[in-house]
């Protein structure tokens, strides 16, 4: 392989994505769903995401030295008992034969995406998800440009599949694990679950570690482990989503057992590596409740989870692995903490969209913009907030957000109704980084910059921001820094100075079943179809005309 540009892709059954890397440095990460507007891009090719990466960089596919895939597709197909149709695959992702394709193990790509964006030169890495090719959990010692595999668990003991099956059992869908995690806060962990902690990490009760099993056999082994436990829990049968609160204790029990498994994995892995800098990746690493507890784990000095820890991130990992294999030195230190703002920047089109919108509008200076938005929030208005380059990942981080007043508990029901979400689901606060110790009992470190950890809100602060405090007294905060999102920082600072409340409510700018908005056209369309009151596109503030606002 030659150096220069490399495209990395995720081509799994969900979260298709493409990353562009040049000389070992990440230029962009584009999620297919943001382009196709179909949430999680289920069974979609990353073709549009690839095209977008190239277009935004001003290059052609012919300028790329190779395409790197975050799955070992030949191995995956072989494990499923099928041959890999490489020409069909090339056609599906739009890559001609003259461009080399390199395949990387799914868990290795996860590990690379997380460790090589951690800024550390040594770490204990834990990857856990639904499945890779033949693994569901893998632990590594990562040093510079190398990964030493320590231990591995197969599909029969998949923590990701275990959790998604529990979500389905409760009456939510297998992909609704975030909702299921939120439900757990309403219950108590009273029920027995099949997770057993062991000296090397965990095991599922009744699971036998038999080599060379087929994928159907592994799936059936997992079902055989979990179903007797689930069916023994009140209300003793699978739910349909109608009486979801009846499954709160069940959800709490599943969540508690997951946390026990992860805690044991960390203890065992750090005990073997001797390295207390811990990196998590894979879909299970998006469980912010578990992450918040792991951040305080006695074996953990620092915990890092990238904002793209789930499958979209293997596009980054595969591209960086290909850069390393090309002979490029220093891949491990090329990126440091890259942050979340790796998506598209449509700033050049904002003025045109704002000026053509059927809304009353004004364009404001930086200082006036912050004060204006803070005033709207304080008056109880819901604000669609669209700025600069998009964040990547499942959390809105002040680039594509809906903002509201956290002082009004009624905002929880109102916002969830506007977005079409279940009314019991929690909402999150954005807090200035320098105020975090004032607001929260524990500092989440880097997790707090990406809304990837939960921590308790101090008793004296809870009455100031009740709309962002979950029923268990926790919140999933974002720490906001001026150097990363200066306009968003100024809004929160203005709101704090105006009201005395050190936070604003922040949720993703989308409606139920839709991806987070990407373009200003997406933002305008979503605004017009919702009950939001104010739309901010860059420095343009737009409001509805000819009708009473949703704030009344």
Q: What number does CATH give the domain 155-304?
A: 3.30.420.40
Q: Is 374 left (phi over 0), alpha (psi -120 to 50) or beta?
A: alpha
0.85 surpassed by pTM: yes
Task: Check residue 3 and give its pLDDT.
Answer: 52
- What is the mean pLDDT for each group of 10 consecutive residues in the chain (552 residues)? 82 97 97 98 98 97 98 95 96 97 98 97 98 97 97 96 98 96 98 97 87 88 95 96 97 98 98 98 98 98 98 98 93 90 97 97 96 98 98 97 98 95 94 98 97 98 98 98 97 98 98 97 98 98 72 42
Separation in Å, CA 190 to CA 117, 170, 240, 251, 253: 39, 16, 22, 10, 6
Provide the Cα torsion 351, 355, 358, 360; round to 10°. Answer: 100
Q: Is 336 left (phi over 0), alpha (psi -120 to 50) or beta?
A: left
Task: Check residue 547 and give its pLDDT.
Answer: 52
Residue 492: both structure tokens together: 């929160």
Beta bridge partners of 87: none
Q: Are 406 and 505 in contact (CB under 8 A)?
A: yes
Handedness of CA 169, 132, 112, 126 (dihedral sign): positive
Domain 347-543 in this protein, CATH class: alpha beta
Q: Which residues of 473-485 are buried (b: 16+ CB within 10 A; e: fewer)?
A: ebbbbbbbeeebb
Residue in this structure with the two tokens 């979209």, named with its chain if needed: 312
Residue 270: both structure tokens together: 């750090």
Task: Check residue 2 and give its pLDDT.
Answer: 45
CATH 3.30.420.40 fits 5-111+311-333, yes or no: yes
Residues in the chain: 552
How many Å apart are CA 517 and CA 90, to the nearest integer? Answer: 29
Ranges for all domains in the chain classified under CATH 3.30.420.40: 5-111+311-333, 155-304
How many Å apart are CA 492 and CA 537, to the nearest integer? Answer: 17
Is 14 tagged catalytic?
Answer: yes
Task: Check residue 313 and give its pLDDT.
Answer: 98
In the three-class reduction of DSSP (H, G, I as helix; E, B as strand; rest coil), residue 119 is classed as coil
How many Å apart are CA 526 and CA 507, to the nearest integer? Answer: 14
How many Å apart are CA 161 and CA 184, to the nearest integer? Answer: 17
Strand arrangement of the beta sheet that strand 25-31 belongs to: 25-31, 17-22, 5-10, 64-69, 101-103
Question: Could you count the other beta carbons within 10 Å of the beta carbon of residue 42?
Answer: 14
Task: Check residue 549 and give its pLDDT.
Answer: 47
Ranges for all domains in the chain classified under CATH 3.90.870.20: 347-543
Q: What are phi and psi of 301, to 5 degrees?
A: -85, -45
Q: Are 481 and 433 in contact (CB under 8 A)?
A: yes
Q: Are 406 and 446 in contact (CB under 8 A)?
A: no
Question: Could you count the other beta carbons within 10 Å of the beta carbon of residue 150?
Answer: 18
Helical residues (DSSP H) of 443-519, grouped into ranges? 486-499
How many Å apart are CA 488 and CA 345, to the nearest integer? Answer: 16
Question: Going by DSSP bridges, is the β-strand pair 122-128/137-143 parallel, antiparallel, or unpaired?
Answer: antiparallel
Residue in this structure with the two tokens 């949430």, named with its chain if needed: 39
Handedness of CA 70, 74, 79, 85 (dihedral sign): positive
**Catalytic entry in 14, 107, 470, 540:** 14
Task: Check residue 175 and give its pLDDT.
Answer: 94
- Distance between the two ends of the chain, CA-based, in angstroms? 61
Strand arrangement of the beta sheet that strand 277-281 belongs to: 146-153, 137-143, 122-128, 277-281, 302-304
How many Å apart are CA 462 and CA 444, to the nearest integer? Answer: 18
Residue 513: both structure tokens together: 């079943």
Q: What are phi and psi of 37, to 5 degrees?
A: 65, 25
How many Å apart are CA 390 and CA 400, to the nearest integer? Answer: 7
How many Å apart are CA 192 and CA 254, to the nearest integer? Answer: 9
Task: Check residue 546 and give its pLDDT.
Answer: 63
Half-sphere exposure of 345 (CA within 13 A, CB side): 11
């Amino acid at each position: 392989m030659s150096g220069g540009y490399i495209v990395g892709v995720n081509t799994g059954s969900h979260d298709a994505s493409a990353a562009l890397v040049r000389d070992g440095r990440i230029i962009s990460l584009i999620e297919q769903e943001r382009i196709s507007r179909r949430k999680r891009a289920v069974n979609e090719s990353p073709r549009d995401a690839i095209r977008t990466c190239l277009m935004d960089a001003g290059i052609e596919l012919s300028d790329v030295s190779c395409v790197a895939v975050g799955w070992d597709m030949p191995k995956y197909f072989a494990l499923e008992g099928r041959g890999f149709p490489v020409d069909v695959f090339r056609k599906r992702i739009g890559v001609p034969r003259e461009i080399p394709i390199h395949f990387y193990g799914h868990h290795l790509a996860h590990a690379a995406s997380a460790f090589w964006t951690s800024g550390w030169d040594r770490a204990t890495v834990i990857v856990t998800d639904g499945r890779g090719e033949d693994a569901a959990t893998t632990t590594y010692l990562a040093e510079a440009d190398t990964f030493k595999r320590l231990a591995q668990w197969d599909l029969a003991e998949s923590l990701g599949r275990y959790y998604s099956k529990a979500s389905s059992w409760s009456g939510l869908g297998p992909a609704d694990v975030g909702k299921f995690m939120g439900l757990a806060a309403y219950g108590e962990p009273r029920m027995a679950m099949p997770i057993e902690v062991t000296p090397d990490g965990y095991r599922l009760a009744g699971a036998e570690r038999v080599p060379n099993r087929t994928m159907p056999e592994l799936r059936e082994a997992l079902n055989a482990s979990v179903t007797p436990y689930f069916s023994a829990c009140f209300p003793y049968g699978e739910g349909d989503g109608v009486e979801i609160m009846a499954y709160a204790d069940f959800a709490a029990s599943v969540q508690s057992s997951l946390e026990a498994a992860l805690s044991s994995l960390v203890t065992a892995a750090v005990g073997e590596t001797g390295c207390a800098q811990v990196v998590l990746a894979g879909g299970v690493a998006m469980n912010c409740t578990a992450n918040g507890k792991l951040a305080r784990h006695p074996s953990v000095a620092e915990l890092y989870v990238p904002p793209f820890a789930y499958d979209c991130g293997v596009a980054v990992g595969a591209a960086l692995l290909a850069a390393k294999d090309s002979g490029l030195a220093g891949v491990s230190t090329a990126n440091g903490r890259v942050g979340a703002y790796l998506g598209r920047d449509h700033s050049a089109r904002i003025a045109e969209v704002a000026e053509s919108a059927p809304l009353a509008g004004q364009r404001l200076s930086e200082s006036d913009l912050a004060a204006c938005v803070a005033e709207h929030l304080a008056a109880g208005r819901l604000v669609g907030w669209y700025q600069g380059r998009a964040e990547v990942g499942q959390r809105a981080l002040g680039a594509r957000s809906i903002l509201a007043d956290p002082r009004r508990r009624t905002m929880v029901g109102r916002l969830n109704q506007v977005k079409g979400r279940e009314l019991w689901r929690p909402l999150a606060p954005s807090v200035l980084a320098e105020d975090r110790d004032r607001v929260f009992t524990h500092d989440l470190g880097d997790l707090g910059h990406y809304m990837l950890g939960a921590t308790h809100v101090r008793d004296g602060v809870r009455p100031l921001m009740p709309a962002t405090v979950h029923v268990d007294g926790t919140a999933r905060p974002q720490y906001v820094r001026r150097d990363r999102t200066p306009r968003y920082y100024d809004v929160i600072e203005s709101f704090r100075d105006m009201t005395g409340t050190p936070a604003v409510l922040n949720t993703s700018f989308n409606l139920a079943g839709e991806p987070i908005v990407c373009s200003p056209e997406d933002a305008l369309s979503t605004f017009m179809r919702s009950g939001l009151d104010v739309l901010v596109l860059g420095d343009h503030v737009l409001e509805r005309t000819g009708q009473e606002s949703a704030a009344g």
